[in-house]
Amino acid sequence: MRVDELHLGKPGEAEALVTKARTLTYGALEAEIAAVSTALASRGLRPGDRACVWAPKTCETVIALMAIMRAGAIAVPINPALKAAQAEHIIADSGATFLLGNRARLSSVEVAAGVPPLTLAFEDHWPALVEVDADVGEARTPDDLAMILYTSGSTGRPKGVMLTHRNLCLGAESVAAYLGTDASDRILGVLPISFDYGLNQVLTAFRQGGTIILLDYLLPKDVVKWVQAHRITQLPGIPPLWMQLDEQDWTGAGDTLRTLTNTGGHMPERLTRAFTARFPRARIFLMYGLTEAFRSAYLAPELALRKPNSIGTAIPNAELFILREDGTECAPDEPGELVHCGPLVSRGYWQDTERTALRFRPAPAFSRYGGLAVWSGDRMRRGEDGLLYFEARADDMIKTSGNRVSPGELEEAAQATGMISEAAAFGVADERLGQGILLFLVAGAGAQEAVFRKALAAALPGFMQPQHIVWKEALPRSPNGKIDRTALREEAAKYA
């Protein structure tokens, strides 16, 4: 099945998609997807073309992504929290020929030399797009590319993870299976659609005939209000959001909740206990995932309080191994690298064969799936109880507020201010954020922290702003002259 067909066959009058501005039934959703897909094709969007969508969570954003895929093209959602320079990188790297979104964002980007994308602002073009007489969508196979999700690596700029129609459809099927999502569910989408799990909530709702309610919230109390006003049954979140929600007044709200899901970092045990007590009828699912393979593991609700430090077992359509460096399987309680096999594994990184070859390799001979597997870079162990336990992240990736942040991108942005001669970024333990960002900096002439922070705020989104800045006369060096990141990591631990 194609991902743009997940909603087909649902009762036309059933509520499908809700935002602050609009509510769409399944019938209205299908009509707009079909019309916009035909309109984009008539304007030159061809099978295999990339089309970026940079906008807040609106009905138009969802429809545009689905319509792009129906036209046989490859959808590229851009996180609305990103700044123009980061969006420009994604547009250029993907080679997008179309750029859709809200007017304010689109007017802020300057596309590099080459083939510039056709830019369509929702405010200006949407009425014309939805009035087109719909034609039959482009025929595609489940293994055709459907989407590129950009995610940060431990070095350099974000890289695009290539997802097929099969990846996305099976991801929706898998999550629906272990969460028990059905047509009666009303899911509150608070995570960005450019985030793999935020996207999956939309697709899972459509697959099961449920309702997805999208919210770009300003304050955590807005989430509480929407849970109550929209009779939400399924609430996903990341640890920083759960911490904020724990501090809210839930009086009269939350009685409809029956499923809570956490991803994007470890859920502190105290929060699991707090929400279990607050919503005794709701099941809590603690999850672990990779953008390169969508989701990997989940902890069953009945184990959430008994095994709070575990990430559980493999989700449906996934096979997980803990391997030694020589490729053999680790013994119980022996740490090794988590390797994910099965049809959820993506195609690798867009136009980056070198990094793809490092992470994506043939599955071990003992895998029942075979094919391609992804080496996570995360060290884990499988306990005597059969559950998986996280040990450490093998790379220097910073996981903050549910976002993966590249130290290299932070260091590049710091030096781009013109005030810094050297920079080194690290993640440090933070109860609210999962990890906070610490920058070791060597100042250039006339550098002032307030001015530097202001410049960084203009260049990077809020979740990439440092919680700690440490000024140094010089950064330590290893014998080969490189920055001694081991020594700095030990110093950074003091700020946890």
At 34, which amino acid appears?
A
> Beta strands of 280-330 (E only): which ranges?
283-288, 297-299, 310-314, 319-323
- Tell me the C-alpha distance between 71 and 83, whole Å: 28
Structure confidence at residue 274 (pLDDT): 92
Secondary element (H or E) of residue 51: strand 50-54
Structure confidence at residue 408 (pLDDT): 76
Going by C-alpha positions, the residue among 207, 210, 256 that lies closest to residue 235 is 256
Three-state helix/strand/coil letters over 392-414:
EECCCCEEECCEEECHHHHHHHH
Task: At 88, list the tokens.
Answer: 């420009």
Structure confidence at residue 393 (pLDDT): 65
Exposure pattern of 393-419 as b/e (b: 16+ CB <10 Å)? beebbbbbbbbbbbbbbbbbbbbebeb
Per DSSP, the three-state class of 225 is helix
- Tell me the C-alpha distance between 210 and 202, whole Å: 9
For 309: left if phi > 0, alpha if psi spans -120 to 50, otherwise beta; the answer is: alpha
Structure confidence at residue 482 (pLDDT): 62
| 381 beta partners | 389
Count the Cβ atoms, other than its own, within 10 Å of residue 448: 10
Torsion angle of the four alpha carbons 6, 12, 13, 17, in this order, in degrees rounded to the nearest 10: 30
Burial of 44 (0-12, 13-18, 19+ CB in 10 A): exposed
- Tell me the C-alpha distance between 234 and 170, whole Å: 20
Q: How far is CA 375 from the centre of its chain?
A: 18
Exposure pattern of 351-377 as b/e (b: 16+ CB <10 Å)? ebeeebeebbeebbeeeeeeebbbbbb
How do 388-393 and 310-314 pair as beta strands? Answer: antiparallel
- Please, are residues 393 and 378 in contact by the beta-carbon 8 Å criterion? yes
Place of tokens 């007489």: 133
Structure confidence at residue 425 (pLDDT): 92
- Tell me the C-alpha distance between 50 and 162, whole Å: 11
Mean pLDDT by 10 residues, the chain (496 residues): 86 95 97 96 96 97 97 96 90 95 93 75 96 80 95 71 97 97 97 93 97 94 97 92 91 96 86 94 94 94 94 97 96 96 97 94 96 93 95 75 84 85 88 92 86 93 94 78 79 88
Per DSSP, the three-state class of 479 is coil
Secondary element (H or E) of residue 442: strand 434-443
- Please, are residues 50 and 73 in contact by the beta-carbon 8 Å criterion? yes
Is this structure's pTM higher than 0.75? yes
- Tell me the C-alpha distance between 277 and 353, whole Å: 48
Domains by residue range for the chain, with CATH? 217-395 (3.40.50.12780), 398-495 (3.30.300.30)
